[in-house]
């Protein structure tokens, strides 16, 4: 990234590869060294890559990122099989295999340090203390490259009484309270169906990196951004958090109905179920008018009253829906002006015209698999005149060390 302070002229980070990111993308002048594996860190660096940064993924020569072995499902020929898990978190990256313990002259550790010297951002998700044992602690990294922004993602924080704990999504979802809020009831704690702690910590991390790069624009110096799986989940407790911290109420799992709004959730109809979300009294009255109900019925006139008798409200709505099939019911709800929807399976989501219209499926050319479709990035960008300038030329997730020769040659040229 190009930075300047009041007494500096603008200049590019020394050693940056010209045009490394797609022209016109927000981070096309940013080089990211990615020391992460599994999901939290790789998701953060993939987000930066989606924005145009050049992301160099540093992997162990012995098998690479752990997720390369996570499956099934795997795809491709037996001797070149690829994990679909790995494919989900590593688009728009280059791969180089380095043994970080190789400190011989001209060895892999030296290659990494040359990358660090040229980088704008370094991302790591080692357990606390691992980088220091490798001689790559924060102080050493910033001594070598004072402009370096370092993102560190841990399981439970880098310090505190449990700062050294290993971080896995399943454990974090339980420890951070999310599982106590998810499930059919208080005695049925459930994990969220995706690794939400990993994904959120990656998102928070990428967001922190952008803030640190903006700060560097003013100061000319890098900084350290820290987040954790614990922090990411506490950060999204939202009203469930203040429900406890302010009101002293402990939220519990209660299935598919909102704890503070009624009716709001999943309701059975004749051939399945639909979801409705009546988030205002106006919507409640509109719903009642559309289905022949009295919005002022005793005990149902206000949201707090309806929440107090949620089971009665659910029974009332489902009695109305009992004679409807889901598709005509959704059409009627749309006609009435009530927010509603179906519960789609993933195959339905990825073939839905609306999903496709938003660029949420991208086709890439993989070096061993050929053309594959991947879930696409969730951001779109538009110029002031309304022209879309969203990145389109996405790169497939790399095979292990796919770019090692090219990267080593580039570093030799720049030495």
Which CATH number fits the domain 31-236+369-414, given the four candidates 3.90.1150.10, 3.30.565.10, 3.30.70.250, 3.40.50.10540? 3.40.50.10540
Contact 231, 200 (CB under 8 A): no
Question: Which band of pLDDT confidence, cut at 50, 70 and 90, is reported for residue 21?
Answer: low
361 strand-pairing partners = 375
Coil, strand or helix at 295: coil
As a whole number of angstroms, the distance between CA 172 and CA 168 comes to 6
**Would you state the pLDDT for residue 86?**
97
Q: Edge-to-edge strand order for the sheet containing 121-124?
A: 94-97, 54-59, 31-34, 121-124, 149-154, 224-228
pTM, two decimals, is 0.91
Domain edges within the chain: 31-236+369-414, 264-344
Estimate to the nearest angstrom the gap between the alpha carbon of 296 and the chain centroid.
Answer: 43
As a whole number of angstroms, the distance between CA 31 and CA 112 comes to 13
As a whole number of angstroms, the distance between CA 230 and CA 203 comes to 13
* Positions of E strands within 78-209: 82-83, 94-97, 121-124, 149-154
Average pLDDT along the chain: 93
Contact 45, 120 (CB under 8 A): no
Q: Which residues make Cβ contacts (< 8 Å) with residue 384, sequence separation at least 6? A: none
User: Model confidence over 185-238: pLDDT tens digits?
Assistant: 999 999 999 999 999 999 999 999 999 999 999 999 999 999 999 999 999 999
As a whole number of angstroms, the distance between CA 115 and CA 122 comes to 10
**Would you state the pLDDT for residue 22?**
73
Burial of 155 (0-12, 13-18, 19+ CB in 10 A): buried
- Name the active-site residue from 102, 198, 363, 385: 198
Question: Which band of pLDDT confidence, cut at 50, 70 and 90, is reported for residue 24?
Answer: confident
- Is 198 annotated in the active site? yes
As a whole number of angstroms, the distance between CA 126 and CA 36 comes to 7
Q: How many C-beta atoms surround the C-beta of residue 279 within 10 A?
A: 13
* Positions of E strands within 109-206: 121-124, 149-154
Average pLDDT for residues 284-294, to the nearest whole number? 97
Question: Which band of pLDDT confidence, cut at 50, 70 and 90, is reported for residue 20?
Answer: low
Average pLDDT for residues 81-105, to the nearest whole number? 95
Question: Which band of pLDDT confidence, cut at 50, 70 and 90, is reported for residue 415?
Answer: low
| Percent share of the chain, pLDDT over 90 | 86
Q: Is the pLDDT of residue 294 over 60?
A: yes
Q: Do domains 31-236+369-414 and 264-344 have the same CATH topology?
A: no
Cα end-to-end distance, the chain, whole Å: 20
Question: Which band of pLDDT confidence, cut at 50, 70 and 90, is reported for residue 18?
Answer: very low
Average pLDDT for residues 390-411, to the nearest whole number? 94
Average pLDDT for residues 111-140, to the nearest whole number? 93
| Percent share of the chain, pLDDT over 70 | 95
74 strand-pairing partners = 83
Q: H/E element holding 409?
A: helix 404-414
Average pLDDT for residues 83-87, to the nearest whole number? 97
CATH superfamily assigned to domain 264-344: formyl-coa transferase, domain 3 (3.30.1540.10)
Q: Is the pLDDT of residue 4 over 70?
A: no
Contact 58, 134 (CB under 8 A): no
């Amino acid at each position: 990234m190009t930075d300047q302070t009041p007494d500096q002229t603008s200049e590019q980070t020394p050693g940056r590869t010209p045009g490394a990111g797609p022209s016109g993308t927000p981070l096309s002048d940013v080089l990211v060294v990615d020391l992460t594996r599994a999901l939290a860190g790789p998701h953060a660096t993939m987000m930066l890559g989606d924005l145009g940064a050049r992301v160099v993924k540093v992997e162990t020569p012995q098998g690479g990122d752990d997720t390369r072995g996570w499956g099934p499902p795997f795809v491709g020929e037996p001797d070149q099989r690829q994990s679909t898990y790995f494919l989900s978190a590593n688009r728009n990256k280059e791969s180089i295999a380095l043994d970080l313990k190789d400190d011989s002259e001209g060895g892999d550790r030296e290659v990494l340090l040359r990358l660090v010297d040229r980088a704008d951002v370094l991302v790591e998700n080692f357990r606390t203390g691992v980088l220091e044992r490798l001689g790559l602690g924060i102080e050493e990294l910033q001594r070598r490259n004072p402009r370096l922004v370092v993102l560190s993602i841990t399981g439970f924080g880098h310090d505190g009484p449990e700062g050294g704990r290993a971080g896995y999504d399943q454990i974090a979802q339980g420890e951070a309270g999310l599982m106590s809020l998810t499930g059919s009831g208080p005695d049925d704690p459930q994990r969220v169906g995706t690794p939400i702690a990993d994904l959120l910590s990656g998102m928070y991390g990428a967001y922190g990196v952008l803030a640190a790069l903006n700060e560097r624009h003013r100061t000319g110096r890098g900084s350290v951004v820290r987040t954790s799986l614990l922090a990411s989940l506490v950060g999204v407790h939202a009203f469930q958090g203040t429900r406890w911290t302010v009101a002293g109420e402990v939220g519990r799992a209660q299935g598919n109905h909102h704890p503070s709004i009624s009716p709001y959730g999943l309701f059975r109809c004749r051939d399945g179920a639909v979801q409705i979300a009546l988030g205002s009294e106006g919507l409640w009255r509109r719903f009642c008018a559309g289905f022949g109900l009295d919005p002022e019925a005793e005990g149902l006139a206000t949201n707090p009253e309806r929440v107090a008798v949620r089971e009665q409200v659910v029974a009332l709505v489902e009695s109305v829906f009992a004679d409807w099939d889901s598709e005509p019911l959704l059409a009627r709800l749309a006609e009435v002006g009530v927010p509603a929807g179906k519960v789609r399976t993933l195959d339905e989501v990825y073939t839905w015209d609306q999903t496709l219209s938003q660029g949420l499926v991208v086709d890439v050319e993989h070096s061993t698999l050929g053309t594959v479709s991947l879930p696409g990035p969730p951001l779109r960008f538009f110029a002031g005149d309304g022209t879309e300038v969203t990145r389109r030329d996405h790169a497939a997730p790399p095979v292990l060390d796919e770019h090692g020769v090219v990267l080593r040659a580039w570093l030799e040229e720049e030495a």
